[in-house]
Chains A and B, each alone.
Chain A
């Protein structure tokens, strides 16, 4: 343990209400001791629930752990408390960039730039989302030197060929998606009605939907959740869990009624279960 961590830990032990947890948590994060950093951040949040910097710190730790959904929530909370918090604006820009929503990423960076026009990291981040600079490091949400590794991209976490998962099923290449519990793509693909590939973006959000569905069912005393169906303006969606460790998303246009979508989802879930069993 370095002297700095020891000193700051001792200071926090002497005065648990102290804001020194912000420095200690950030220091641990920079040392990549994410579990310890998270404990310190949560300790601070218990005592300073309305401190924007505490939520920002915890969000950065979550982002470093690739827990983007909860990082999003923490930065969202940061902005509710302090709407001009540039760290949170940059953090949200980073998350939007990760899911491919470049419009939102740029919009958040512009807001951060209006507040801190001299911040060089914002100019760097603009260059990344405009494709003028490599993404490694520059988009990472840190007030100090970024420490997280470059995050997995579509190239490094390539989905397995869909034919091995949903072979023979309608929509295997644009409306069926199988994910692991962390939201990483196992197979299938998803395209917008206009044909744009949104597989990675939707996968990133879906882990949060599944988590929230399970939490809702449990806390309302409704047992386990079996599925979530939704009607959108341009199509319908069904989310299910073929196994405890996977999620399945089925999307169809509005001509397919929700009831039929449920049947399609059952068939896709069977195919997914068979495929997952074969993987051992």
Chain B
């Protein structure tokens, strides 16, 4: 299974502007697999994205929108994108500010499907 994750992460990180991608356990925010550029702390990304995903999930369910299928945090110097995958996992990408969000989303969804 880890080979599947690594292949998927490889495809995501090939998109121009992606600084790293990882598979994260939603329940405890731990890294399952990662492919990150130097300087990005995988454990920090994992913990923060899992926590944000949990809070967003509660807000969206309360709003009657159902669980989140994709989310995109836009920041001044980059972005974080994530999609849920099977078995309580999240596929996460950290990007530069200038990135083709649609393409990253597509690769994340493909990766999530492959992981499931």
**Residues of A bordering B, CB below 8 Å:** 69, 99, 101, 190-194, 196, 198, 201-202, 204-206, 208-209, 212-213, 215-217, 219-237, 251, 258
Contacts and interface: CB of A to CB of B under 8 A. Distances in A.
> Is chain A's binding surface mostly helix, strand, loop or mixed?
mixed
Contacts of A233: 65-67, 69
Contact of B64 (A192, A209, A213, A229): A192
Interface in B51-88: 51-52, 55-56, 58-60, 62-80
Nearest to A251: B63
B75 A224 contact: yes
B76 A223 contact: yes
Contacts of A208: 55, 58-59
Nearest to B78: A222
B64 A212 contact: no
Contact of A224 (B56, B72, B76, B79): B76
> Is chain B's binding surface mostly helix, strand, loop or mixed?
mixed
A232 B52 contact: no
Interface of B: 40, 44-45, 48-49, 51-52, 55-56, 58-60, 62-80, 94
Contacts of A220: 40, 44-45, 48, 75, 78, 80, 94
Contact of A216 (B52, B62, B77): B52
A55 B20 CA distance: 35
Given A216-B52, A219-B48, A229 B65 contact: no
18 contacts: A190-B63, A204-B62, A205-B62, A209-B52, A209-B56, A215-B48, A216-B51, A216-B80, A217-B76, A220-B48, A220-B78, A221-B77, A222-B79, A226-B74, A230-B71, A234-B65, A235-B65, A237-B60
A220 B75 CA distance: 10
B72 A232 contact: no
B59 A202 contact: yes
5 A-B pairs closest in CB distance: A192-B64, A233-B66, A223-B76, A232-B65, A222-B75
Nearest to B71: A230
A91 to B, nearest CB: 16
Contacts of A231: 68-71
